[in-house]
Amino acid sequence: MRIVMKFGGTLIDSEDKIKNAIQIIKNHKKKFFNNELVIIVSAVNPVTDILLDACNAIKKKDKVYVKKAVNDINSIHTSLLDKIISKTDLKKQARKTIKCLIKELEMIMEGAVFLGEVTPKLQDYIASFGERLSIVLITFALRDIGIKSEYLTGKEVGILTDSNFSEARPLMDTTKLRVLHKIEPLFKEKIVPIVAGFIASDQNGNTTTLGRGGSDYSATIIAASINAIEVWLWNEFDGMMTADPRIVGKPKVLAELSFSEAVEMSMFGLKYMHPRALEPVIDSRTAVIIKNAYNQKNKGTKIIQNPSRESEKTVKSITSIRNTALIDVSGWGMIGAPGTAAKIFDSLAKNKVNIMMISQSPSESSISMVVRQNDLDKAITTLELNFLGRLIKQINVNDNVSVIAVVGSGMRGIKGVAAKIFTSIAKKNINVIMITQGSSELNLAFIVNDENCEAAVRILHEDFGLAK
């Protein structure tokens, strides 16, 4: 049985947590005799954040911050190392490896801060140090308890991507061949490969990264490459839930989800996974399992191509995203002018504004879109600079809304779901600002003022009987 397991950055950021992760690896290796296990790890939390903040500091030539960042990263890793590795010779080797990496990081940062410049390529290179360091910790911790293991960066394991730095996409055909070629000999020697999540390399050998939270993506890329039957994403909660536990007192854990349902839900609530993470395994028989590393008895959530009948409820989950903003652009100039939407979305995309929801009135005189609050400034500036006074007459903004989405593949072709949703919402006297439903009918999403978010989620959770 081939299994890929991923440990995120918050699962390895203390002595106890690393020991727990090591125990999980040990148990699973033993439990199923002959298990072929690949482990993916993220950077120790919050190392990636520190590295990316340091990139911003470099641009401001802030030498003090950059120096502190290197020191902090050094002490995070050396103090963990001291606690988790007991054998003197192993400790020595691990220390030496970490020291080399820190030295390299320091040199790069010093050079860059001197110039005050970070290219996207350099930023990915700097960001890669988080995972390059964490794989050393985990590998040596395993060796310390007598488990043969070897660490590999994304490049070393064979993940090849395009050169779209910070959001690179894997070139799967080549990747599959390379990864299989690399991993199989390790399996033969009963070695557990510890692979750096998040990082890969392009055709020219430059380090690339797969986007924030990209270790999930690395895990499924590896799983697809070695034909793993399962990918286990370890977390600190029991699985995907019927609603955000911060809003609904006791939501239920969903036992099974289809890939498409999971994709709809991945953007919402607690951060469960990288939005593209399911892509590599969507056409395979690989199951993705989300489990709690601190409550292993709970079966967690299993994401598979064809969930069993039993789990085919009409509505499975009420999900919500807060901190979003609604932008409404309007103008007579937009009516009957083909390409209007394309122009608007294209210039927003060029400025890296991600649009979460779109709706256009049939008269074509207005387009509404939802963006994250962080992107609002950029979005408005882009629209003003490029279109205001010409294509667009007016821009209206509501800067504090929530997206609520009702998700479930059982909604397809069932009449009355929308009526039921909006009756519940009306009962609570909540105003609905915008609505979208894709023709897949998997997901009906709408916008309310953020102050109404919790009440809306709670009443839907109750009225659809999800707590039972």
Q: How many CB atoms lie within 10 A of CB 110?
A: 14
Bridge-based pairing of strands 394-407 and 317-330 is antiparallel
- Give phi and psi for 404, each to the nearest 5: -120, 130
CB of 445 to ligand ASP, least distance (A): 25
Which residue's CB atom is positioned nearest to ligand ASP? 215
Length of the chain: 468
**Hey, what amino acid is at 155?**
K
Q: Draw the binding track, 404-433, toward ligand ASP (x: CB under 6 A; -: no contact).
A: ------------------------------
For residues 364 and 311, what is the distance between their CA atoms, to the nearest angstrom? 40
Q: How crowded is residue 268: how many other Cβ atoms within 10 Å of its Cβ?
A: 22
Choose one: 69-77, 113-121, 209-217, 429-437; the region binding ligand ASP (CB under 6 A): 209-217
Say which entry of Mg ion, ligand ASP, none residue 378 contacts (CB below 5 to 8 A, set by partner kind).
Answer: none
Tokens of 241: 């839930």
User: Closest distance between Mg ion and the C-beta of residue 354, in Å?
Assistant: 19
CA 170 to chain CA centroid, Å, is 15
Binder of ligand ASP out of 63, 87, 212, 372 (CB under 6 A) = 212
Distances from the Cα of 336 to the Cα of 288, 330, 339, 341, 391, angstroms: 45, 13, 9, 11, 12
Residue range at the interface with ligand ASP (CB under 6 A); choices 25-33, 98-106, 136-144, 212-220: 212-220
Do residues 207 and 262 touch, judged by C-beta distance below 8 A? no
Residue 262 sits at the vertex; the CA angle it makes with 256 and 267, to the nearest 5 degrees, is 145
Measured distance CA(25)–CA(134) in Å, rounded: 16
Q: Please, which of residues 251-270 interact with ligand ASP by CB under 6 A?
A: none
CB atoms within 10 A of CB 16: 10
The Cβ of residue 134 has, within 10 Å, a number of other Cβ atoms equal to 31
Binding string to ligand ASP for residues 121 to 160, with x set by CB under 6 A, is what? ---------x------------------------------
Give the one residue of 165, 198, 234, 237 binding ligand ASP; rule: CB under 6 A.
198
Q: Tell me how far, at minimum, the Cβ of 43 lies from ligand ASP, in Å.
A: 4
Does position 170 interact with ligand ASP (CB under 6 A)? The reply is no
Q: Which pair of tokens denotes residue 85? A: 């590795």
From CA 463, how far away is CA 442, in angstroms rounded?
Answer: 18
Site string for ligand ASP, 37-66 (x = CB under 6 A): -----xx----x------------------
Closest distance of CB 138 from Mg ion, Å = 14
Stretch that binds Mg ion, among 36-44, 115-123, 268-276, 398-406 (CB under 5 A): 36-44
**Contact partner, 61, from Mg ion, ligand ASP, none, Cβ < 5-8 Å per class:** none
Choices 39-47, 113-121, 174-182, 402-410 (CB under 5 A): range interacting with Mg ion: 39-47
CB of 372 to ligand ASP, least distance (A): 16
Tokens of 83: 């606690």
What is the number of alpha carbons within 13 Å of residue 232 lying toward its C-beta? 21
Nearer to ligand ASP, 130 or 251 (CB): 130
Report the distance separating Cα 197 and Cα 192, nearest Å: 15
Say which entry of ligand ASP, Mg ion, none residue 208 contacts (CB below 5 to 8 A, set by partner kind).
none
* One residue of 154, 170, 193, 214 binding ligand ASP per CB under 6 A: 214
Q: Rounded to an integer, what distance in angstroms lies between the CA atom of residue 246 and that of residue 457?
A: 11
CB of 260 to ligand ASP, least distance (A): 22
Task: Convert residues 2-31 into a mask of x (bound to ligand ASP by CB under 6 A) and - (unbound).
Answer: ------xx----------------------
Respond yes or no on whether the N-terminal peptide bond of residue 46 is cis (omega within 30° of 0): yes
- According to CB under 6 A, which one of 154, 158, 193, 213 is a site residue for ligand ASP? 213
Which is closer to ligand ASP, CB of 273 or CB of 456? 273
The rounded distance, in Å, linking the Cα atoms of 85 and 246 is 37
Amino acid at 19: K
State the nearest-atom distance from the C-beta of 52 to ligand ASP, in Å: 9
Q: How far apart are CA 228 and CA 207, in angstroms?
A: 26
- Residue nearer to Mg ion on the CB measure, 6 or 458: 6
- Residue 215 is a binding residue for ligand ASP (CB under 6 A): yes
Residue nearest to Mg ion (CB): 9
Residue 392 pairs with which residues in a beta bridge? 388
Q: Is 42 among the residues that bind Mg ion (CB under 5 A)?
A: yes
Contact residues: Mg ion, CB under 5 A: 9, 42
Contact residues: ligand ASP, CB under 6 A: 8-9, 42-43, 48, 130, 197-198, 212-215
